[in-house]
A = this chain, B = another copy of it.
């Protein structure tokens, strides 16, 4: 999965322990990913097992759990580039959970369906506004790399598409019920 890519990519810059990796993910990718601690520690132990990373320090402060600091290996750097190129090449079909919900529309009343659609439209509109503000802040900050703005745009474009689709759906709701 892409968790391995992220962890190798982050460790490619400097050795870190699990908690720090989580913080970096949160800081730089927090808006568009949601990687849990459990996944990070699991991936770390798997990557260590396969020799892509290695422990360079086990640092115990008082009686807290020991910090296990990991470093990327030569094999890990290769694996990182392999995963990176793979991620650039393969285009995965997006799965929309809402399609399932739409598939079973006949079990809702028209009033309900309309209400939910209006809620979704409102929700998407708010997210678009939020992203717009966010992007303007980013644009003015010279320390934010351009990729970050491109990634925001990615969500923006798709949210716009979602909005238009939802509006079409609402306009033609009578066809579906």
A residues whose Cβ falls under 8 Å from a Cβ of B: 2, 5-6, 9, 12, 28-29, 32-34, 80-81, 84-85, 87-89, 91-105, 107-108, 112-113, 116, 119-120, 123-124, 146-147, 150-151, 153-155, 157-158, 160-162, 164-165, 168-169, 172, 175-176
A-B pairs with beta carbons under 8 Å apart, 21 shown:
A2-B97, A9-B100, A9-B103, A28-B103, A29-B103, A32-B93, A32-B95, A33-B95, A34-B93, A84-B101, A84-B104, A87-B98, A88-B120, A89-B116, A94-B96, A96-B158, A102-B150, A102-B151, A103-B151, A146-B176, A157-B162
User: In the bound complex, how far is the Cα of B158 from the Cα of A150, in angstroms?
Assistant: 16
A165 proximity list for chain B (CB < 8 A):
153-154, 157-158
Residue pair B161, A157 in contact (C-beta under 8 Å): yes
Which single residue of chain B is at the shortest CB-CB distance from A102? B147
CB distance from A29 to the nearest CB of B (A): 7
Contact A147 B101 (CB under 8 A): no
Which B residues touch A80, using CB under 8 A? 107
With contacts A116-B89, A176-B147 taken as known, whether A155 is within 8 angstroms of B102 at the C-beta atoms is no
Contact between chains at B105 and A2 (CB < 8 Å): no
Name A88's contact: one of B95, B116, B147 (CB within 8 Å): B116
Asked whether, in the complex, the Cβ of B175 is within 8 Å of the Cβ of A146, the reply is: yes
From B101, B113, B119, B154, give the contact of A99 (CB < 8 A): B154
